[in-house]
Amino acid sequence: MTERTNSKSNYSRRHALRLMAIGGAAGLIAPNLLGKPAFAQNPPASPTGRVVVGFSQEPTVFNPLMPHTECDDAVHFSVFDALVRMDPKGVLQPNLVVEVPSQDNGGISEDGLLWRIRLRDDVRWHDGQPFTAEDVKFTLELITNPKFRAWRTAGHSLVRDIKVVSPTELTWRMEEAFAPYLSFLAETFMVPKHILEKEADPNAAAFNQAPVGTGAFKWAQRIAGDHIELVANTDYAGEGPYLERLVFKYIPDMTVLYTQFKSGDIDLVDQAFITADNYAEASTLPDRVVMLERGASVESIYLNLEKPQFKDPAVRQALYAAIDRKAILEGLYYGVHNPTETFMPQNSYYYNPNLPAQEFNIERARQILDEAGWVPGADGIRVKDGVRLSFANSTTSGNHLREQTQQFLQQTFAEIGVEMTISNLPAAVMWGDFWLKSQFESAISGVTNVIAGDPDVTNRLHTKAIVAKGGKGSNTGQYSNPEVDALLDKGTRTFDREERRAIYLRVQEIVRQDLPFLPLFAYANVFGRKEGLAGFEANSNTRVASWHAAGWHWKD
Amino acid sequence: MRGFLLNRLSQSLILLLIVSVIGFVVLNLLPGGPLAQFGLDPGMTQDDLDRLKEQLGLNRPLWMQYLDWAWRLLQGDWGNSFRDGAPVLSVIGRHVFATLLLMGTSTAIAIAIGTWIGIRGATHRYSLFDHLATVGAMVALSIPTFWFGLVGIYIFSLKLGWVPAGNMYTIGDGSVLNYLHHLILPSLVLSLVHVAIWSRYMRTSTLDAISQDFVKTARAKGLSERRVIMKHVVGNALLPMITLAGVQLPSILTGALVTETVFTWPGMGRLFLDSLGYSDYPVVMGLLMFSAILVILGNLIADIAVAIVDPRIRLG
């Protein structure tokens, strides 16, 4: 395929997307119940107004390449740009690049090893300097600089021979084909070479306290322990910004976070959102929009498959059938979250909606165990080949909802002749070696399985990711299935989206059948914002609500 | 006096050493550590965690980490926060004003009201006022402050709308009036407990003074009751309170842990809780040393003040 036809097809795809976006916007305006004219939705000509976003954790890390948590992402997404950005549908869109590199457009070679990146030529740093390919090279090399305290290095550590071809083009070679890297680049924000190269110690650079990016908002000030203030970057190369000021306010208590949303002190609730118990009340508040947004995290019972109790698939199937998920979801979790059969986020492009649905059926559970030869002993607990069907379940102590879930499970499991004891630990102990090195028998945990919205779950489900067996990763349940391993290996080498989709749909099928863990529900987050805040869009492929503040504006 | 100060100084240094060693050991014994927050981050590999551990120097033996920290401290380097990378002293500096404002106000309120209640309770012992004050103090001391805070926010902010629901000021409005408006509820809530403590001590101390012979003498001389109380009782009753003030002095700068959280107050108490939560060792150690120095100073000032006020006491 030639260059010309590629860019042409790319244009038409973008054109189609744009048409779809217009259709979507019209759809939003049509059911406008307040009767405001459609033009009220239009953003202002110049940035006006201010939005205060509430967080329950304080953003403190402003160098986007250093170790940070969710809340810091909000600052990074607003102040910086990445090469690509993951949209709410889980599709990568150009950010600093002209087009998302793919094998089709020649950005990635057929063997996946050679990458060519073409950049926009109209992007400037907040201090007026032009953004060029040198900055990209500097950023990627800084991440793997052994002196630098970098955040994630997965994928980056495979990059070799970065060559700047022109100010808007660069190439590199990958040590091995690694398709998830494209998604990882969506969370790799570009930092300015001309500022950071002068620093003797990048870990202690002044930049880290007052960042300079290319993003829609510029750094204004930070009042430590209280808030961070950003101002509009009127020279922003992309869409927006429409707000003059953007404030990230730290409110350390979840109850107070909600209270300040109620009182109107904050305009939008970001991480860790409105608590489920306040959802019903929040929905009734005047002038507020409260939405349930699907998250990426899945709550499951993890079974340590190396324990003799869990080696028999019949046990896992019986336990799964003995879980009254509806009662747990509605009785304990305020009906906020969603049932799921898979580890894949429900908003992912790679989510498999066609898996068999779990059914709560005590009779069936008993039958499965009977057929598999698990016979009740004198104490009513089933036994087979000298193995008693009894195990401990652990989670963070003090997490009341999980503790209630455990007690509930304990009762239904007892009805099928299974003994579950509860042995909870403080968070720091629970999620340390006890979890990572598979020292638990069974555990309840909420886990985000995918990284940066990419469907690759090698880290969670591949045999080589079992730390207890000398591997590297977080396969703490010690799941091992050669077919899944092969599919996962293939998935990391496959760049075509549809081919990848087929692979991960199949992985989900096998995992649903094997039941290495028993899914309880997929987390939903309770988002809340003032009714007048327009242009807001949730994106469960990112970790924050404030992933695209550039598009926000106040209605007239 | 010089001997007293030298003696105190050497005692203080030993105390600081002990506090720092215990603090360092306990902090490091706590499970988790600064990298635990990344344990559930799917993108962080074990290699990443090991690398960061080494880069932060956390893979060294504990005694080596302690000596390194202590040696730097002696040279005036308090280290840098693991979270935002800023020097510890500047981190403390950014939070100290908020705490000083809140705790200073609430302590001033507490001393004024507490002293008055204490004196009146003692001079009108077993009166209705005394009973009410006693019961009130018990209630204030038994119920956690954060509960008062939440109830206060519910009634006065959400229901009545008189005061803001937390925060030190409205973002974008830095006027003195705005600060005062935000200060009312948290400082009153915090002063509740201090009024209770202060009034109980003051009552006991006043009763003690009233029963002294010199008061009987003053009364025998025919002085009015008011004059007896104001001139002979209160002055003597306040003496032990200087020591109490010395003990309370550090809290003016170290802050209130939970109340600052409830009222979204960006002070030292919250900084301590947050730093502990993130296992930000340099900041936690810095705050620990900062408080220890303040406690030592507070007691020292109280001792000197008592010696100055009370001619019977000589320092040596």
The closest CB to that of B261, out of A50, A150, A253, belongs to A253
Residue of B nearest to A227 (CA): B171
Pairing, β A419-422 against β A390-394: parallel
Please tell me if residue B160 touches chain A, with a CB cutoff of 8 Å.
no
Q: Using the predicted structure, report yes or no on whether residue A238 has a pLDDT greater than 60.
A: yes
Both tokens of residue A554? 């106040």
pTM for the model: 0.86
Weakest-pLDDT range from A426-430, A471-475, B215-219: A426-430
Q: Using the predicted structure, report yes or no on whether residue A18 has a pLDDT greater than 60.
A: no
Task: For residues A221 and A303, state if they share a domain.
Answer: no
Amino acid at B253: L
Task: For residues A455 and A385, state if they share a domain.
Answer: yes
Write out chain B residues lying below 8 Å of A52, CB-based: 171
Read off the pLDDT of residues B16-64 as tens digits, 9 standing for 90 and up.
999 999 999 999 888 778 888 887 777 888 888 889 999 999 999 999 9
Q: Using the predicted structure, report yes or no on whether residue B238 has a pLDDT greater than 50.
A: yes
Q: Is residue A201 part of a domain?
A: no
Name the pLDDT band for A205 (thresholds 50, 70, 90): very high
Question: Smallest CA–CA separation between B197 and chain A, in Å?
Answer: 28
Please tell me if residue B157 touches chain A, with a CB cutoff of 8 Å.
yes
Task: For residues A319 and A429, state if they share a domain.
Answer: yes
Amino acid at A119: L
Residue A171 sits in a domain whose CATH number is: 3.90.76.10
Write out chain B residues lying below 8 Å of A178, CB-based: none
Helix (H), strand (E) at residue B72: helix B62-74
Write out chain B residues lying below 8 Å of A204, CB-based: 80, 85
Instruction: Suggest the residue from A148, A253, A456 to mutate for an interface test with chain B (most B CBs closer than 10 A).
Output: A253
B45-75: buried (b, 16+ CB within 10 Å) or exposed (e) per residue?
beebbeebeebbebeeeeeebbeebeeebee
Q: What pLDDT, on the 0 to 100 scale, is given for residue A369?
A: 96
Name the pLDDT band for A21 (thresholds 50, 70, 90): very low
Name the pLDDT band for A15 (thresholds 50, 70, 90): very low
Residue of A nearest to B90 (CA): A224
Chain Cα centroid distance, residue B184: 19
Question: Smallest CA–CA separation between A269 and chain B, in Å?
Answer: 15
Give CA torsion, residues A532, A537, A540, A542, to 10 deg. -100
CB contact under 8 A, A252 and B270: yes
Provide the residue count of chain A.
556
Task: For residues A369 and A489, state if they share a domain.
Answer: yes
Could you write out the DSSP letters of every residue in A265-332? S-SEEEEEEE-GGGHHHHHT-TTEEEEEEEEEEEEEEEE-TTSGGGSSHHHHHHHHHT--HHHIIIII
B8/B4 Cα distance (integer angstroms): 6
Write out chain A residues lying below 8 Å of B267, CB-based: 225
Task: For residues A57 and A88, state if they share a domain.
Answer: no
Q: Is residue A25 part of a domain?
A: no
Amino acid at B216: K
Number of cross-chain residue pairs from A and B with Cβ atoms under 8 Å apart:
151
CB contact under 8 A, A460 and B42: yes
Task: For residues A332 and A234, state if they share a domain.
Answer: no
Residue A368 sits in a domain whose CATH number is: 3.10.105.10
Q: Is residue A239 part of a domain?
A: yes
Instruction: Suggest the residue from A201, A229, A254, A256 to mutate for an interface test with chain B (most B CBs closer than 10 A).
Output: A256
Question: Smallest CA–CA separation between B76 and chain A, in Å?
Answer: 18
Question: Smallest CA–CA separation between A429 and chain B, in Å?
Answer: 6
CB contact under 8 A, A432 and B264: no
In order of A215, A271, A490, B83, B278, the CA distances from A58 in angstroms are 21, 10, 40, 10, 11
Q: What pLDDT, on the 0 to 100 scale, is given for residue B220?
A: 87
Nearest-5° Cα angle at A396, A391 to A397: 90
Q: What pLDDT, on the 0 to 100 scale, is given for residue A7?
A: 35
Q: Which value, in Å, is the radius of gyration of the alpha carbons in chain B?
A: 24
The closest CB to that of A224, out of B39, B52, B266, belongs to B266
Task: For residues A370 and A436, state if they share a domain.
Answer: yes
Read off the pLDDT of residues A83-118 as tens digits, 9 standing for 90 and up.
999 999 889 999 999 999 999 999 999 999 999 999
A404-431: buried (b, 16+ CB within 10 Å) or exposed (e) per residue?
ebbebbeebbeebbbbbeebbbebbbbb
Helix (H), strand (E) at residue A171: strand A169-174
CA proximity to A219, closest of A81, A122, A82, A126:
A126
DSSP state of A43: P
Read off the pLDDT of residues B107-121 as tens digits, 9 standing for 90 and up.
899 999 999 999 999
Both tokens of residue A134? 């040198």
Write out chain B residues lying below 8 Å of A427, CB-based: 32
Task: For residues A498 and A363, state if they share a domain.
Answer: yes
Read off the pLDDT of residues A458-489 as tens digits, 9 standing for 90 and up.
999 999 999 999 988 889 999 999 999 999 99
Please tell me if residue B159 touches chain A, with a CB cutoff of 8 Å.
no
- Residue B261, strand partner residues: none
The closest CB to that of A226, out of B38, B261, B266, belongs to B266
Name the pLDDT band for A509 (thresholds 50, 70, 90): very high
Q: Is residue A29 part of a domain?
A: no
Please tell me if residue B55 touches chain A, with a CB cutoff of 8 Å.
yes
Pairing, β A50-55 against β A268-274: parallel
Q: Which long-range contacts (CB under 8 A, 24 or more apart) does A198-201 make?
A: A201/A147
Q: Measured on CA atoms in the order B49, B55, B56, B59, is the torsion positive or negative?
A: positive
Say which residue, A321 or A29, is predicted with more confidence.
Answer: A321
Residue A231 sits in a domain whose CATH number is: 3.40.190.10
Q: What pLDDT, on the 0 to 100 scale, is given for residue B215?
A: 85
Residue of A nearest to B32 (CA): A428
CB contact under 8 A, A253 and B158: no
The closest CB to that of A223, out of B45, B80, B266, belongs to B266
Please tell me if residue B12 touches chain A, with a CB cutoff of 8 Å.
no
Interface of B with A in 284-303 (CB under 8 A): none
Neighbours of B13 (CB within 10 A): 11
Neighbours of B32 (CB within 10 A): 18
Q: Using the predicted structure, report yes or no on whether residue A221 has a pLDDT greater than 50.
A: yes
Of A34-48, A49-63, B202-216, the range with the highest mean pLDDT is A49-63
Do A474 and A435 meet the contact criterion of CB atoms below 8 Å apart? no
Q: Is residue A313 part of a domain?
A: yes
Please tell me if residue B38 touches chain A, with a CB cutoff of 8 Å.
yes
Q: What pLDDT, on the 0 to 100 scale, is given for residue A23?
A: 39
**Cβ-proximal residues to A410 (8 Å cutoff; 6+ apart), any chain:** A393, A420, A421, A422
Q: What pLDDT, on the 0 to 100 scale, is given for residue B244?
A: 84
**Cβ-proximal residues to A158 (8 Å cutoff; 6+ apart), any chain:** A174, A175, A176, A178, A181
B45/B23 Cα distance (integer angstroms): 31
Task: For residues A430 and A486, state if they share a domain.
Answer: yes
Q: What pLDDT, on the 0 to 100 scale, is given for residue A41?
A: 64
Amino acid at A75: V
What's the mean pLDDT in A501-530? Answer: 96
CB contact under 8 A, B153 and A472: no
CB contact under 8 A, A473 and B45: yes
| Domain around A255 | 46-80+215-287+531-555
**Cβ-proximal residues to A248 (8 Å cutoff; 6+ apart), any chain:** A53, A55, A59, A71, A74, A75, A227, A228, A230, A270, A546
Task: For residues A99 and A62, state if they share a domain.
Answer: no
Residue of B nearest to A254 (CA): B262
CB contact under 8 A, B171 and A247: yes
Nearest-5° Cα angle at A468, A462 to A472: 50
Task: For residues A62 and A121, state if they share a domain.
Answer: no
Name the pLDDT band for A281 (thresholds 50, 70, 90): very high
Do A476 and A467 meet the contact criterion of CB atoms below 8 Å apart? yes
Task: For residues A506 and A538, state if they share a domain.
Answer: no
Residue of B nearest to A63 (CA): B84
CB contact under 8 A, A62 and B157: no
Q: What pLDDT, on the 0 to 100 scale, is given for residue B157?
A: 87
What's the mean pLDDT in A241-262? Answer: 92
Q: Using the predicted structure, report yes or no on whether residue A35 has a pLDDT greater than 50.
A: no
Question: Total structural domains in chain A?
Answer: 3
A210/A231 Cα distance (integer angstroms): 13
A411/A419 Cα distance (integer angstroms): 9
Q: What pLDDT, on the 0 to 100 scale, is given for residue A39?
A: 42
Do A137 and A170 meet the contact criterion of CB atoms below 8 Å apart? yes
Q: Using the predicted structure, report yes or no on whether residue A388 has a pLDDT greater than 90.
A: yes
Continuous H helices in A300-417: 313-321, 325-327, 362-371, 400-415
Please tell me if residue B273 touches chain A, with a CB cutoff of 8 Å.
yes
Q: Is residue A207 part of a domain?
A: no
CB contact under 8 A, A250 and B153: no
**Hey, what domains does chain B have and what are their CATH numbers?**
35-77 (no CATH), 91-314 (1.10.3720.10)
Continuous H helices in A124-253: 133-143, 181-184, 193-196
Question: Smallest CA–CA separation between B32 and chain A, in Å?
Answer: 5
Both tokens of residue B20? 């720092």
Residue of A nearest to B43 (CA): A451
Name the pLDDT band for B235 (thresholds 50, 70, 90): confident
Q: Is residue A377 part of a domain?
A: yes
- The ipTM value here is 0.84
Name the pLDDT band for B316 (thresholds 50, 70, 90): low
Do B62 and B28 meet the contact criterion of CB atoms below 8 Å apart? yes
Give CA torsion, residues B165, B171, B173, B178, to 10 deg. 20
Instruction: Report the percentage of chain A scoring pLDDT > 70.
Output: 93
Q: Is residue A390 part of a domain?
A: yes
In order of A135, A160, A162, B67, B147, the CA distances from A172 in angstroms are 14, 6, 4, 45, 59
Both tokens of residue A100? 């998302």
Q: What pLDDT, on the 0 to 100 scale, is given for residue A43?
A: 86
